[in-house]
Structure 1
């Protein structure tokens, strides 16, 4: 079914993305407690994040294909029960190996639900509000880093690492109840063969869009992962200063996702991508200049980092809108692959940033981010001119076949 307006059905979708993001990265905040409690190293504890991300990236497209004919609310209910069970096992895990297994369960559950959330947000609202709805979902992911992970870190540090996973259990229960009570019935996709359903995934526009999302994820995660050494080189920032930068970036990112979603509806995805990319490039030029000078005022650094986070946040919603507008009846599969490439990009960004930091120093990271941002715009703009499909929200050209049902 399709809704006529934004409504309470959006709340469980946003909360689900917030919960899954929190469950993924909360481990990073309690590495020391996990290592001490499970008698392992912090490096080994860190692999709990890596395994979650890898399993998620692999499971998302597989789950989308396997569960095609499963009713969406049924899929959400059983997946969330699995997510809750995985975090209960994590909170009571007697060993590192059991905790690792619980992370696999949680990742599979999140991978099954996330594409459905994006597909519903991109098809339930009327065409003029889809970007706004997708921006809200992107804001949920940002809020996980801004609120969820710090909250879990505080609970884990105060009451023991198990408390962080009990928090995820509570969040999972809230998501389950809210989805069962607030989410409308979502019609399954029309009967189609596997080859027909996967056909859009092999088309040039979809591949370009997925490549653009991977580059965006790689660049943004690279900058946020290594913001500490970059900031130290640019302004001699201490630990408290780094914390302030993360808070400022998180706030800017949450605001930007909402603006990016609304702008997608009003200006079109391509124009919004261009605005976000220009903003990000300006921030990267400013950041690289600060690194070269090495004595930037702290307030200037905060401003530049906020502009950077704003540009990143502006880019995410229009890319999702752009992909959904070209997915036809395969929105679930396309969104599953989208989630996978985001996690793949996150991993690649961390690796590329580490190599650059060791080789060229901190100044090389914002330069690479500029190159990646330019490639994002070129990928989307090239696909837009290819004649395959038109941006339905661009205000010009014919509308592409948007999926008529959330599935």
Structure 2
């Protein structure tokens, strides 16, 4: 290891937590930008003069571009300083939000969502590797929990706040509200993030080589089934609550708020247990989420029970991301960027696949089949994790 590399490592390991908090804010804005349109789908469709279905398709474009970006970002970025890659991703988010707020057609909206997808995939592919360089190893799990607090915050408040702002200042105004926050975050990153020189250039061959590690390939499979199980259910939670639980619009908002706020407890639990008990955490997550999903099918007619089960599910859902990223830091520390690219691509693919499977089951067999399908996927994830020994590197 060269003296320069040692110097760079020293700078990044002792850098302030301000950089971590700036990444947490970036996460919050990414989640808000990604999911706020869901709560504004109808007014966006009316404003652009197209069907709600087409707007829904335009919104989903970000997911496809996130998958692509997560796979190619480390290769495309080459030896570019990772600080500037993250800054560019935040700048793309800013451009995307402005384009959405000023969109005059469906085509412009889709282009804006594509840019957002690139930002999502690029940021998440690098985020864990950057966190590993910002803090000492013993603080990595805590730093990941801080970063994912931004996700919990946005998940709790993005949809209800977006819906409220849309009613008060219009859907375009709701997106304009995010613009100065992202601009502030861009400046904060410029100031707080230290220089993060790329350790080495990545290649597609390096990604393929990583997948040849049996423990990593098994982990990726478990990631796919874990997240697919979660989003097979979550994507269609609203129709379940409306048709089975029979909630009012007000109760629906309250239940989603309970689900989102539970994520704050999930960030604490993830940070606490991912450090020394990551395998146990990865075992517990799909089991509890699957049981909560089945519990909703059996007792979801009762609003209080549904709220309790959603709170439990929400804790696990947030801890899920922290747990798998902590597993990455502990077992792929020799190739965190390549591993980050693959795991983010796996997560995004699982989200898209889970939503597609859940929709197919819903259309052909009903909401019960959708929830059962989710539980089955979670059970497969648990079997893939197993004792955990086959998820650990041996050298």
The answer to whether the superposition gives a TM-score over 0.5 is: yes
The 3 A distance-change label for structure 1 pair 197 and 313 is closer
Q: Which of 157, 161, 181 matches 1:147?
A: 157
Q: Does 1:30 align with 2:40?
A: yes
1:311 is displaced (CA, Å) by: 2.3
Structure number with the higher helix fraction is 2
Q: Which runs of 5+ in 2 are unaligned?
A: 1-8
1:303 is displaced (CA, Å) by: 0.7
How high is the TM-score relative to the length of structure 2? 0.89
Q: Distance in 2 between matches of 1:246 and 1:308?
A: 12
Q: Distance in 2 between matches of 1:173 and 1:203?
A: 41
Corresponding residue pairs, total: 385
Q: 2:349 aligns to what? A: 344
Q: Does 1:204 align with 2:208?
A: no
Q: Does 1:54 align with 2:59?
A: no
The 3 A distance-change label for structure 1 pair 183 and 5 is closer
Pairs within 5 Å for 1:224-243: 224-243=234-253
Q: 1:276 aligns to what? A: 285
The 3 A distance-change label for structure 1 pair 39 and 194 is closer
1:70 is displaced (CA, Å) by: 0.5
Q: 2:321 aligns to what? A: 316
Residue pair 2:48, 2:105 contacting (<8 A) in 1 also = yes
Q: Distance in 2 between matches of 1:306 and 1:206?
A: 31
Deviations 1:117-157 (A, max 9, x none): 22222443223322222233333223222123332332233
1:14 is displaced (CA, Å) by: 0.9
Q: Does 1:214 align with 2:219?
A: no
1:290 is displaced (CA, Å) by: 1.6
Deviations 1:158-189 (A, max 9, x none): 22222233233223212211111122222312
Q: Secondary structure at the match of 1:186?
A: coil
Q: Which runs of 5+ in 1 are unaligned?
A: 391-399, 401-407
Q: 1:374 aligns to what? A: 379
Q: Secondary structure at the match of 1:9?
A: helix
Q: 2:146 aligns to what? A: 136
Residue pair 1:280, 1:310 contacting (<8 A) in 2 also = no
| Most deviating of 301-310 and 76-85 | 76-85
| Most deviating of 111-120 and 48-57 | 111-120
Q: Distance in 1 between matches of 2:191 and 2:244?
A: 50
CA RMSD of the aligned region, Å? 2.4
The 3 A distance-change label for structure 1 pair 206 and 170 is farther
Q: Which of 124, 127, 130 matches 1:120?
A: 130
Q: Which of 77, 80, 84 matches 1:74?
A: 84
1:298 is displaced (CA, Å) by: 1.6
Q: 2:6 aligns to what? A: none
Q: Does 1:364 align with 2:373?
A: no
Residue pair 1:129, 1:262 contacting (<8 A) in 2 also = no
Residue pair 1:6, 1:129 contacting (<8 A) in 2 also = no
Residue pair 1:82, 1:106 contacting (<8 A) in 2 also = yes
Q: Distance in 1 between matches of 2:328 and 2:355?
A: 25
Deviations 1:278-334 (A, max 9, x none): 33233233222225xxxx432112111111222222322111111233324431222
| Most deviating of 75-84 and 31-40 | 75-84
Q: 2:102 aligns to what? A: 92
Q: 2:299 aligns to what? A: 290
The 3 A distance-change label for structure 1 pair 46 and 284 is closer
